[in-house]
Amino acid sequence: MRRSLSIFTGLLLFFTASAQTKLDRPKLVVSIVADQMRWDFLYRYYDRYAAGGGFKRLLSQGFSCENTSINYTPSQTACGHASIFSGSVPGINGITGNEWWDKQAEKYVYSTQDDSVTTVGSTTEFGKMSPRNMLVTTIGDELRLATNFKAKVIGLSLKDRGGILAAGHSANAAYWYDTKTGDWITSSFYMKQLPAWVNEFNAKKLVDKYYQEGWKTLHAPDTYEQKITDGASYGNKTFGVGNHLPYDLSSFIGKRYSFISATPHGNSFTLQMAKAAIQAEQLGADSVTDFLAVSLSSPDYIGHSYGPNSMESEDNYLRLDKDLGDFLNYLDATIGAGQYLLFLSADHGAAHVPAFMKERKIPAGNVNIELLFTELNKLLLDKFKVANLVADFSNYQVSLSHKAIVKGKLNETDIRKFVIDYLSKQQGIATAFDLSALAETTLNATIKNKITNGYFPARSGDIQVIFQPQWIENFELGGTTHGLWNPYDAHIPLIWFGWKIPQGVSGREISITDIAPTVAALLHIQMPNGNVGKVIQEVIK
């Protein structure tokens, strides 16, 4: 009798304790995606990062996954954001590029375009955007579902795709920058009018204040050791107000609002908007976990303009380090140290500028895609007597005009073979092959897997092109780009920080698609419905 009573008492205490125990979650999840940040930038400028800055604090107090890579092609902004937050790849989520050629409609489709919605916050067309082209849920969607839509989810970025694809379909809001007006806007997909706090933020016209400040180096110019030292310039003349730092931007006050994106002020501007969102929306202020997705677009604009071996890129990361340190201090003061979960990653990296590499006797070069496109159609016309048989050459894929082929009663196999033979002979192209025969194509396993993960038949091309290492498309006059499978494009940072995150480092191979399921595991919610990633066990211990 005594033994039965003891068992009953123990069970009663267990169930009582269980009923009283509340699921432990962070108050707020914050994601920071640095657009065009290679992994090595964490260490390339490490000695110059401030002791109280963002990068050293994240590395010393957080958990760094040092061998994180993008597991698909092309490595582009829209694909990166869709994959980080959905745990899926372009072949599943449908975001096969920043834009793609729609085979059926035979027209370009931008990743977030949505002609059924209208701009909210200005009278321009920049707000006709939504996440409808993304076919899967995001971690933000799953958090909303798990909390019966009590959790607030907000995405923001200077680029529409950076805010929209990170936030997901059911987000409370996504905000992006209107380069015509200098204001933050959204679309009718999310709301009918901007909240008062966004209008108040826009009324400050911070962009003009940044223009008045100009772009000066954070430190003395002669201390920038990572810049090109021989006086050569491999960058574009972005502003038209000089060829090198410092840049006087005062002439742009009240106009030319797009130029702010190609300065470090774009990062500051975005993080100020993030602070305003946290305060006004009371993110992390109650018992329900909220999610704020922040994408920093300026590193990408600066990288495309000047390349990684420039004073501009170095100054951008030194200033970003300062901004991130300030933002972490703000989160500590507002949400509470240890009360928020944060991860920092990137949507892609970038190649070195080919002209710079060739001067150092490293194989590199530029492939003129427009020239190849024109030449191909000319040769095809001469041989098959039908014009414009190549409809598009983008995302490192050639799309044929199937309507023209059918109308001309041509043999498509012959056309594909002709295109492949031509492309395979071009300088800088390692190989070209028929995507419909991908499974039978002999390729390195790593490359083949990445192309397979990026292949979505309705939104992908017909013929895949693979460049030789360190060859990039276009950009003959300076600057750089990204999009390939190579480590310089695909090796990205991933650092976890804050709520229940252990301090440590892992060199294990991790994929960009592992981020979303790891967040899901930490929050004890379902992973996104297109997820193919795996939980990073080292982070959740």
Task: Please state the three-class secondary structure of 450-507 as a single string.
Answer: HHHHHCCHHHCCCEEEEECCCEEECCCCCCCCCCCCCHHHHEECEEEEECCCCCEEEC
Dist. CA 295–CA 311, nearest whole Å: 23
Tokens for 94, please give them. Answer: 């449908």
Q: What is the fold of 28-358+485-540?
A: Alkaline Phosphatase, subunit A (3.40.720)
Instruction: For residue 435, give the nearest of 487, 381, 405, 396 by alpha carbon.
Output: 396
Tokens for 273, please give them. Answer: 């908007």
Domain boundaries defined on the chain: 28-358+485-540, 365-469
Q: What is the pLDDT of residue 229?
A: 54
Q: What is the pLDDT of residue 541?
A: 79
Q: What is the pLDDT of residue 223?
A: 93
- Listing DSSP states for 70-90 in one string gives --SS---HHHHHHHHHHS--H
Alpha-carbon distance values, 21 to 11, 17, 285 (Å): 15, 6, 20
Dist. CA 394–CA 317, nearest whole Å: 30
Tokens for 64, please give them. Answer: 């760094």
Angle between helices 515-523 and 77-86 (to 10 degrees): 30
Give, as one character, the DSSP assignment of residue 115. Answer: T
Q: Which residues are catalytic?
A: 77
Tokens for 385, please give them. Answer: 């007597």
Residues in the chain: 541
What residues pair up with 293 in beta bridges, in sequence order? 31, 155
Helix (H, G, I), strand (E, B) or coil at 296: strand
Residue with tokens 């600066």: 302
Give, as one character, the DSSP assignment of residue 444. Answer: -
Q: What is the pLDDT of residue 300?
A: 97
| Ordered mean pLDDT values, 10 residues apiece, the chain (541 residues) | 48 45 92 98 96 96 98 98 98 98 92 98 97 98 98 98 98 98 98 98 98 96 76 64 85 96 98 98 97 98 93 96 98 98 98 93 96 97 96 96 95 96 97 95 96 97 97 88 97 98 97 98 98 97 79
Indicate if 365-469 has the same CATH topology as 28-358+485-540.
no
Q: What is the pLDDT of residue 11?
A: 47
Instruction: For residue 190, give the nearest of 168, 174, 166, 167 by alpha carbon.
Output: 174
Phi, psi of 293 (to 5 degrees): -105, 115
Residue with tokens 């310039």: 233
Q: What is the fold of 365-469?
A: Gyrase A; domain 2 (3.30.1360)
Dist. CA 473–CA 457, nearest whole Å: 23
Alpha-carbon distance values, 190 to 79, 143, 154, 181, 219 (Å): 22, 17, 10, 20, 42
Dist. CA 477–CA 365, nearest whole Å: 12
- Listing DSSP states for 328-383 in one string gives HHHHIIIIITTSEEEEEEES---PPPHHHHHHTT---EEE-HHHHHHHHHHHHHHH
- Return the HEC string of 117-183: CCEECCCCCCCCECCCCCCCCCHHHHHHHHCCCCCCEEEEECCHHHHHHHHCCCCCEEEEEECCCCE
List of E strands, 22-106: 28-34, 63-65, 68-69, 99-102
Residue with tokens 């400050």: 204
What residues pair up with 438 in beta bridges, in sequence order? none
Give, as one character, the DSSP assignment of residue 232. Answer: -
Q: What is the pLDDT of residue 330?
A: 98
Q: Which residues contact 412 (CB under 8 A, 6 or more apart)?
A: 400, 402, 405
Q: What is the pLDDT of residue 16?
A: 44
